[in-house]
Structure 1
């Protein structure tokens, strides 16, 4: 399988999760698929495989490192490095989107106000989180990221 095809596949794999968050935030399927940890596990495993290939099997450009901007640029100059970085973005953006969905439900925020934030998170990552925090501010919910413990939890 070509790295280009892998890129297309990992992009396609996150779309159902985002659709569930936007179209069916309270559906059981959304709870089972998006909030279960399946995506972080699968994408985390993929990320780890690509990272190991980069570190130990020569699937990286010369001069890769995290200590300088040149080293990070070298990482992203190789297709495997792009897959490493992109899968990192995909899983963390989805993780934030899932948190936004759960937080909004806990706070009773209207989904019509939250859905654009989810779409922005899917497309532009931190912009969606910023938009959600602004929605919370407008609705009088503040910006604290502390969560109340679930009922029955210690």
Structure 2
């Protein structure tokens, strides 16, 4: 069973599922920010459990493919080392999962703060869209 899962979830397939998997959370954040579903499901820790499971699976796949984890510390040595790291699909996918998680966390934070300060949900559409497309600035 683990072998079938490992064979199905290639880097491309994980990229596809991670990108599609966060879309329902963003739709709920943009269109239904005051719903109970958003409060207990989207702005909670649940989406991050899913993304962390994906990240752990990526670490597992990296371990099976004898990825050299000590090479990750080379990113502090210069820009060329960062380019080398991002040329590796596994490292790039781990970075992408981090980026998606941070975007979703920031979107949830924007919604929680808007409710705390009684900001109209129409005014949230632009900052949430920018956060989804560009990331937290």
Q: What is the TM-score with the length of structure 1 in the denominator?
A: 0.72
Aligned to 2:5: none
1:24-62 residue CA offsets vs partner (Å, 9 max, x unmatched): 001121122212211111112222332354467424699
Task: Pick from 19, 30, 37 the counterpart of residue 27 of structure 2.
Answer: 19
RMSD of aligned alpha carbons: 2.3
Task: Pick from 67, 88, 97 the counterpart of residue 76 of structure 2.
Answer: 67
Are residue 105 (structure 1) and residue 115 (structure 2) matched? Answer: yes
Give the match's secondary structure for 1:126. coil
Indicate the larger mover: 59-68 or 71-80. 59-68
Q: How many residues align?
A: 127
1:61/1:77 contact within 8 Å kept: no
The separation in 1 between residues aligned to 2:88 and 2:69, in whole angstroms, is 5
Residue 125 of structure 1, CA deviation: 0.5
Q: Which has the higher contact order (CA 8 A, sep 6+)?
A: 2
Unaligned runs of 5+ in 1: 128-154
Unaligned runs of 5+ in 2: 1-7
Q: What is the TM-score with the length of structure 2 in the denominator?
A: 0.80
1:75/1:81 contact within 8 Å kept: yes
Seen in structure 2, the aligned counterparts of structure 1 residues 62 and 40 have a Cα distance that, compared at 3 Å, is: closer
Are residue 39 (structure 1) and residue 47 (structure 2) matched? Answer: yes
How do 1:122-133 residues align onto structure 2 when only pairs under 5 Å count? 122-127=132-137
